[in-house]
Amino acid sequence: MSSSASVIFQERKDQILRKGQGDFDMNCNRESLAGAVSQRACVFCGSRVVLYPIADALHLVHGPIGCAAYTWDIRGALSSGPDLHRLSFSTDLQEKDIIFGGEEKLYRALTELIDRHHPKAAFVYSTCIVGIIGDDLEAVCRKVASEKGIPVLPVQSEGFKGNKREGYGAACKAMFRLMGSGDTSNISPLGINILGDFNLAGEIWIIRGYFDRMGLQTVANITGDGRVEDLQRAHGAALNVVQCSGATMELAKMMKESFDIPFMRVSYFGVEDMAESLYQIARFFEPKAPGIMERTRELVKGELSQLYPRLQEFRRELAGKKAAIYVGGAFKAFSLVKAFRLLGMRVVLVGSQTGTEEDYRELYEITDEGTIIVDDSNPLELSSFLKEKDVDVFVGGVKERPIAYKLGVGFCDHNHERKKPLEGFIGMLNFAREIHSSVMSPVWRFVPRRKAR
Amino acid sequence: MLLRHTTKEIKERKALTVNPAKTCQPIGAMYAALGIHNCLPHSHGSQGCCAYHRSALTRHYKEPVMAGTSSFTEGASVFGGQANLLQAIDTIFTVYEPDVIAVHTTCLSETIGDDIPQIAKKAETDGKIPKGKYVIHANTPSYVGSHVTGFATMTKAMVDYFAESNGRKIEQINIIPGYVEPSDMEEIKRIVSELGIRSVMFPDTSNVLNRPQTGRFDMFPKGGTTVDALRSTGSSKATLALGRLASGPAARALDAKCKVACEILDPPIGLAATDAFVDTLRRMGGVSVPESINTERGRLLDIITDMHQYFYGKKVGLVGDPDQLISLTEFLVSIDMWPIYVVTGTPGKKFESKIKEITRDVPHEVKVASGGDMFLFHQWLKNEPVDLMMGNTYLKYISRDENIPLVRFGFPILDRVGHSYFPTVGYRGGMRLLEKILDALLDKTDRESPEESFELVL
């Protein structure tokens, strides 16, 4: 423990908690300490990851080339049809644009792209520099929208305005402007919108499959495999189900206020949360849809009877192993804690880039004694915790993977780079298989792991 | 068709880049700074910049990439980032204890006008920079140049801040390797030492971004050029810089500052460029070329001899960075291939004329673009296809849509391993390139030839 203590900044002490040592007291959602090697990103990043899966929209990044280059198709958000979202469009601002302004360039870029690709809508992302030079994004977008007859939506995602969470907000505001304009006449009373699922590795298709079997009509995918026209009529749905609460909760709240659509928080990760989410949805629709509860029970029963025997095989070998979790938003951590428990594993470290106090309080409730809970961590801290807790597998994102591997610790990408769907009942099996494949890999026999600890 | 949106008709675009063949300056500066031993690169801008650069480098190298950020907020962008940078310098030296903090700017901090040397000076006056520790900087606004110029600027900063001349020359040569892989830097060092020459290479990312699995996570890995070595570059008897764009500025700065004469060559990719490299080393070091190097050369030549019929007249499309593309184009022409499309995203008209000159004897029209992008490249292909493409991972969309084999070369490579371990420079690197080119071409032949003409021996 002394080794961990030495790498923790004084200023960050109250962003780290050990369950069982004193009461819950956590300081979070504050700006990162300058100079710390933070794993956090920016507002633009938040907006981009939320909106990018809308596949038939044009996504134009107004800024220098980097912002567009680093977000070019890096998240495996699959589309069943159009794939305009997988291209990278940038105004590629140059020095003279910084001096004289980029509005003219933006106007020309938008016009040219809309003429060539005929998108259903266009999102225009603002970057740091645009915020500084003061281009009037709103005015350019309005002008192009009226000339081209499609919605052209500014996304106020200047990077310096906060972290990813503010970016989610900007994305929600942009999407909200699409709503209310579409035709809702053929939407059944059992219409539902899926919020906060980005169809990584095809996950939203699994969830839509469940909703179909329950007799529900999915109106809009927000945003995985998303379509502009679906967003435009999303206000015709009877319920919003919100996953990844950080990303799209704001949109759900706006829709509640303007269209009186109720929302509920759900999670599709892990058996318990997946089943409970479906039951919760079924209970909501039960007055309008007799029989939905039975159908849902049948669905869950059928899935579980296939899943459990196969999970047991993994559980036998994984029981007692230790896991660490460090993810972008805390919501995912809740489900992961439960999923690991189902595999007989212990979660000894859990943290997120952007969790709220409420999130961490919930984590505190559901974790075991001694578990470390951490906000906005950094590589040095994470690696010392991994060593201290003698972790077998680490769940994180792209920047955490090589740290785990260097230490000789197994890894599972539960972020942009997942290659197998981890949602739904089948997702739990995939998750178990991924964890198993890494924890039990023969490679660890060859690395000087134990010796170095 | 992933790129069904690419149109065959080509219209001039002025306001728009589609599917870029470059990225921004700061990432190049960060990569260069990782080649200093015990150095923490520092991004003076918003948090996202740093996160993106670290992620991009991590995806390419599959290694931990450490860097600090000033974590700009709304306040910093209005009132300037001085407070953030001062805090960052203090935090970094207190907690991470590097020898050097290498600060690079971003579009944001450049535009609000932060003066890094002045802020560093203030940090020093305030006692925030411990004795024997350094803060260096490079101005790398994202709206100028590309990742390559960012690399060049940070490399030059190493000279500006560290190179010293004490009047006496020491028996060593400076090698500036350019924006190449850690494996390439390692190979260049090997060739130099094979010739019996003492050298200092900077920057040097070998053993930083291609390190072994040790069961440990080290914030600062073993590799990288030490500050002492950087200091000594001012007393070296000569500098050999590889790559005009990536290494030229640092080499000229050393000449101006410490009177170290420099020669600037194209990167040693392929036979002729490696010949020039080895010959220049021989002259600079006053040594003769050992048999071992001649043998390597002979082997590369042997592969070309054995397989020359397979190279003949094959049309190739290239996308990448200017320095590498110049050598690569020359190599391909020398083995009778036809590089007919050459695109870089990095701006600079000299590049176009240089490629035109190298390809003047190619019996086919050659299209070249600097400041181009992959959309344009794809449009060219739609009008006339090629047999082979070479470039970074983003070409895989075109490769799939048009059924053209792709040899991965350059930055970034996000979907294969090898580039950080196996060089493409030197004679051995040339052999590896030929192996990859032949594999790509012949695998396609095997896969697609009709049954009656499918042959065992090729």
- Per-residue pLDDT of A46-65, as tens digits, reads 999 999 999 999 999 999 99
In a domain, A307, yes or no: no
Provide, as residue numbers in chain B, all residues whose Cβ is less than 8 Å from the Cβ of A115. none
Chain B: give the shortest CA distance to residue A124, in Å.
Answer: 13
Sheet holding B236-242, edge to edge: B199-201, B170-176, B236-242, B262-265
Closest listed residue to residue B25, CA positions, set B183, B144, B155: B144
Q: Which structural domain range is residue A166 located in?
A: 43-176
| B contact test, residue of A31, A70, A125 with most B CBs within 10 A | A70
Shared-domain flag, residues A323 and A297? no
* Cα of B166 to nearest chain A Cα, Å: 35
A160 with A56, same domain: the answer is yes
- pLDDT value at position A220? 98
> Quick check: is A162 in a domain?
yes
Residues A247 and A203 in one domain: yes
A80 shares its domain with A162: yes
Helix B25-33 / helix B147-162 crossing angle, nearest 10 deg: 40
Chain A residues close to B95, C-beta within 8 Å: 7, 9, 35-36, 380
* A49 at B interface, C-beta within 8 A: no
In a domain, A453, yes or no: no
Q: A259 and A224, same structural domain? A: yes
Q: What is the DSSP string of B254-306?
A: HHHHH---EEEE----SHHHHHHHHHHHHHHHT----HHHHHHHHHHHHHHHH
Determine contact: A416 vs chain B, CB below 8 A: no
| Buried/exposed B52-78: b ≥16 CB within 10 Å, e otherwise | bbbbbbbbbbebbbbbbbbbbbeebbe
Chain A residue with minimal CA distance to B219? A380
Instruction: Calculate helix-pair angle for A330-342, A357-366, nearest 10 degrees.
Output: 10
Distance CA A61, CA A90 (A): 5
d(CA A251, CA A245): 10
Distance of CA B311 to CAs A352, B301, B331, B358, Å?
53, 13, 11, 17
* Same domain as A291, residue A250: yes
| Final residue of a structural domain among A176, A206, A234 | A176
- For residues A37 and A88, give the distance between their C-alpha atoms in angstroms, rounded to a whole number: 28
Read off the CATH number of the domain in which A51 is found: 3.40.50.1980
Instruction: Say if A157 falls within a structural domain.
Output: yes
Residue A1 predicted with pLDDT over 60: no
- Domain co-membership, A67 together with A92: yes
How do strand A372-375 and strand A16-18 relate by DSSP bridges? antiparallel
**Residues A49, A140 within the same domain:** yes
> Which backbone phi and psi does A240 adopt, to 5 degrees?
-110, 125
Decide if A132 is inside a domain: yes
Confirm or reject contact between A123 and chain B (CB < 8 A): no
In chain A, residues with a C-beta closer than 8 Å to the C-beta of B59 are: 398
Could you tell me if A269 and A244 are in contact, meaning their C-beta atoms sit under 8 angstroms apart? no
Per-residue pLDDT of chain B (458 residues; tens, 9 = 90+): 778 888 899 988 888 999 999 999 999 999 999 999 999 999 999 999 999 999 999 999 999 999 999 998 888 888 899 999 999 999 999 989 999 999 999 999 999 999 999 999 999 999 999 999 999 999 999 999 999 999 999 999 999 999 999 889 999 999 999 999 999 999 999 999 999 999 999 999 999 999 999 888 999 999 999 999 999 999 999 999 999 999 999 999 999 999 999 999 999 999 999 999 999 999 999 999 999 999 999 999 999 999 999 999 999 999 999 999 999 999 999 999 999 999 999 999 999 999 999 999 999 999 999 999 999 999 999 999 999 999 999 999 999 999 999 999 999 999 999 999 999 999 999 999 999 999 999 999 999 999 999 999 98
ipTM greater than 0.85, yes or no? yes
Q: How many CA within 13 A on the CB side of residue B301?
A: 9
Domain boundary among A302, A332, A354: A302
Token pair 């392929």 is at which residue?
A: B270
Which of A120, A148, A176 is at the close of a domain?
A176
- Classify residue A312: in a domain, yes or no: no
A97/A161 same-domain check: yes
- Angstrom CA distances, B283 to A19, A193, B238, B240, stand at 67, 72, 11, 11
Is the domain of A206 the same as that of A159? no
Residue A95: its chain B contacts at CB < 8 A? 141, 143-144
Q: Which residues pair with B69 in a beta bridge?
A: B43
Q: Are residues A410 and A356 in the same domain?
A: yes
Exposure of B146 in the CB half-sphere (CA atoms within 13 A):
24
Report how many domains make up chain A. 3
If asked whether residues A153 and A208 sit together in one domain, one would say no
Q: Which domains does chain B have, with CATH numbers?
A: 25-162 (3.40.50.1980), 170-291 (3.40.50.1980), 303-452 (3.40.50.1980)
Record the pTM. 0.95
Examine residue A226 and state whether it is found in any structural domain, yes or no: yes
Instruction: Answer whether residue A443 is part of any domain.
Output: no
Nearest CB among B5, B24, B108 relative to A87 is that of: B5
Residue numbers in B near A71 (CB within 8 A): 52
- CA-CA distance, B65 to B26, in Å (whole number)? 14
Q: Are strands A191-197 and A217-223 parallel, antiparallel or unpaired?
A: parallel
